[in-house]
Structure 1
């Protein structure tokens, strides 16, 4: 939100964002923009002026969670075991995606995103995870062909595939463990 906005516009932005956080937590990425406007006490045009796309609104709602995950990647970058650090960060990402409805949707690829509004959350996650992946590759624990985008896509896919499961966290963790271990039996 630009600082040079009028005071009432800044208040509207803050109120819309607070309501959106509640609505997204309750209804996920498909939370009604009209309901958000109604509860915030503004018109739907005001919501769209501040958040021109649903993705822009979801990114704003997810901003703090993304910051936390980026900070966590920085903390883990200094640990001794590159593979363990990468897997711990991906596990944290998965836990956030499962518990914070809407975050997985923010991190999905959007072919229709305007060039001016590419997926900033995904870009930040990729930047934060890159040192962890490089270290795991250097340690020989991960193939050099793997990208952070691949890993984020895998986690997002698992979170989206399990969000309606009776126990989404357990189902997501099981699938993530399976993806990491592979399909072959352990020897």
Structure 2
């Protein structure tokens, strides 16, 4: 019984650390000290280091969790009767997660962590789930038939880049950008 309690505590600590890290990285980027993340999580630094020996390992775990959540959401949406709204719901979720996720990926790349090698399989899995939703929406005539998953991924990438802006212009309005994307994807009736 005591072993189960230790395991449950370890799982709880890991989950609390990941949540605290996700919030800290979203606002403070790579510069957030690990001790600050441990403090926010309400655990000691030793607990953090037992779960995540480096800051890069913690970043990777946060990105992994976000990707896994998106994959699971896409898989759940595949069961929807109306595939068009299901596809757009996933796009809404991708955009909602884009801000902190992009910061984390940028930080990982800047920290010399090869995100593509470590998380590329998850990216491929998410793309496959998007393909299923797109195909189902096209079969129901909710989305243009001439759009490929490559087209959609390029549109999503462009939208996410626009949301972050750069030194030359301000970030775009996410809801307006999504509305334009929905309009462009919708099948002409």
In 1, Cα distance between equivalents of 2:75 and 2:38: 32
In 2, Cα distance between equivalents of 1:142 and 1:154: 21
The 1:123/1:31 distance shift into structure 2, 3 A limit, reads farther
The 1:129/1:91 distance shift into structure 2, 3 A limit, reads same
The 1:88/1:28 distance shift into structure 2, 3 A limit, reads farther
Q: Show the counterpart of 1:93.
A: 94
2:57 alignment partner, SS class? coil
Count of residues in correspondence between the two structures? 166
In 2, Cα distance between equivalents of 1:49 and 1:9: 15
Q: Show the counterpart of 2:44.
A: 41
Q: Show the counterpart of 2:32.
A: 32
Q: Show the counterpart of 1:57.
A: 62
1:156 has 2:157 as partner: no
* RMSD of equivalent CA atoms: 4.3
Q: Show the counterpart of 2:3.
A: none
Contact map agreement 1:29 1:105 (CA 8 A) in 2: yes
- Post-superposition offset of 1:24: 4.2
TM-score (norm 2): 0.58
Alignment of 1:1-187 (within 5 A): 7=7, 10=11, 12-24=13-25, 27=27, 30=30, 32-34=32-34, 35-39=36-40, 40-43=43-46, 45-46=49-50, 48-49=52-53, 52=57, 54-60=59-65, 62=66, 65-66=69-70, 69-76=73-80, 78-79=81-82, 82-94=83-95, 96-97=96-97, 101-105=99-103, 112-113=114-115, 115=117, 117-119=118-120, 121-138=122-139, 139=141, 141-147=144-150, 149-161=153-165, 171-181=173-183
TM-score (norm 1): 0.59
Q: Show the counterpart of 1:3.
A: none
Contact map agreement 1:113 1:119 (CA 8 A) in 2: yes
The 1:146/1:9 distance shift into structure 2, 3 A limit, reads closer
In 1, Cα distance between equivalents of 2:90 and 2:102: 15
Of Structure 1 and Structure 2, the greater helix share is in 2
In 2, Cα distance between equivalents of 1:119 and 1:105: 17
